[in-house]
Amino acid sequence: MSEELHVVQKPKKKTSNTSLILLVAAIGLLAGVVGSALVYGYMFEKYVLTLSEKSPTIVKEVTQLQDDTIIDVVSATTPSVVSIVVTKEVPQYNQMYSPFDLFFGVPNGQRNVPGEKLFEKQKIGGGTGFFVSEDGMIVTNRHVVSDSNAEYTVVTSDGEEYSAEILARDNVLDFAVLKVEGDGFTAANLGNSDEIKIGQTVIAIGNSLGEFSHSVSRGIISGMSRDIVAGGGLTGAEELTGIIQTDAAINFGNSGGPLLDLSGKVIGINTAVAQDAENIGFAIPINQVMRLIEDVQRDGKISRPFIGVRYVALTEEISSEINVKYDYGVLVVRGDRVTDFAVLPGSPADKAGIVENDIILEVDGKKITDENPLVKIINEYQVGDTVQFKVWHKGEEIMKDIVLQDKNDLNKKEK
């Protein structure tokens, strides 16, 4: 039988002298608390009113201070920023003969051969870049200088024009390096993109719309470690990982320009803007390209370390299907075509004995995850480095030492 609980009233007890004393003490304590609260409330209200009266001045001073900082940063950085003009010989087809020429004549008394194909040099695009050395080395986006048949002219902040040579185009990041002849250029100060915070103020400088050089916009860092698929023009679509998101205006022509912090240091390279959206722009973190800049300065080319495997990220579904316990790592697999090898012949992975259906779990003790993908880990190393890989191979975990190789060197050997 279940028991039902009831609230019962306790019988009253006679109030003793001790109880009276405690009651008086409690009342006194309560009065003290209430009095203190009233005094505190009055003081707090007075403080708030005083602060409110002064706040417009404080806000004005803070705003002025930030404006002055931005003005100083722009003034110091502008000499480092260049506009890139893209020109190309474009075919021009002459019009066929028209009977109206008999009445209106032909300009300059000349008549073109019907259907003759002529070429005329025209501006076909533009972008932005910035100096990273005093001897004329400039970085920009690869998509700005993707046409191998075009000519590129760099225009500095003082209006001087220089013919530019393409030193390197990266095949992984939207990144390229140009060079102009000369010396004494103002190199931008490169910062540390690992130290940036969401919400901090940033400044973008660029050749907006390919017409308005050294346009300045300001905003904040809206997000970090974004993964996007960007594309267009001759470069096609490409996946960029670990990208900075900002609401600073990044228009056509701003590509390749610097994204700056308030200390005037470059923390990113403006790269893309979201279509059909406002105030959503993206920049490549400067730390992703620091090593590439050093490569070009030292060797005159970009060296990309690789191991030579085709893979898919391990998912819960894949792990269940192949009956393994891992929720991280990558599975080495072949592609759809016969020539899409799981392991590239002659590659570092091939030499180390990695085969199809192996699972690469860790690189030098770092787990391969969505947040820390294999390509990102590999790019932290130099060509020639020996790196230890933890691999699941035919039912057991083994360690393999792999010497990283430059993919371009392997391609040359194949040719």
Q: What is the pLDDT of residues 378-411, one digit of tens each?
A: 988 889 999 999 999 999 999 999 999 987 776 6
Same fold for the pair 200-299 and 305-406 = no
pTM for the full model? 0.70
Pairing of strands 161-169, 176-180: antiparallel
CB atoms within 10 A of CB 125: 21
DSSP for residue 343: B
pLDDT tens-digit profile of 351-380?
999 999 999 999 999 999 988 889 889 988
pLDDT, average across residues 207-216:
82
Backbone angles phi, psi at 93, to 5 degrees: -100, 125
**174 assigned to active site:** yes
| Residue 228 parent element (H or E) | strand 212-230
**To 5 degrees, how large is the angle CA 53–CA 56–CA 58?**
100
The active-site residue out of 146, 215, 255, 347 is 255
The active-site residue out of 170, 174, 295, 406 is 174
Q: Which of 210, 200, 209 is nearest to 244 (CA)?
A: 200
Residue 308 is encoded by which pair of tokens? 């030579």
Contact between 247 and 201 (Cβ < 8 Å) = no
**255 assigned to active site:** yes
Pairing of strands 137-140, 176-180: antiparallel
Backbone angles phi, psi at 391, to 5 degrees: -130, 135
Residue 151 is encoded by which pair of tokens? 């000519």
For the domain 305-406, what is the CATH superfamily, name and number? PDZ domain (2.30.42.10)
CATH fold for the domain made of 200-299: Thrombin, subunit H (2.40.10)
> May I ask the CATH architecture of the domain 79-104+119-180?
Beta Barrel (2.40)
The active-site residue out of 80, 143, 215, 295 is 143
CB atoms within 10 A of CB 285: 21
Residue 234 has pLDDT above 70, yes or no: no
Average per-residue pLDDT for the chain: 80
Q: How deeply is 341 buried, as exposed, middle or buried, from its count of CB atoms within 10 A (0-12, 13-18, 19+)?
A: middle
Cα 116 to chain centroid distance, Å, stands at 47
- For the chain, percent of residues with pLDDT exceeding 90: 52
**213 assigned to active site:** no
**DSSP secondary structure letters along 110-126:** --PPTT-EEEEEEEEEE
C-alpha–C-alpha distance, residues 76 and 70, integer Å: 10
pLDDT, average across residues 47-63:
57
Q: Where are the domains of the chain?
A: 25-53, 79-104+119-180, 200-299, 305-406
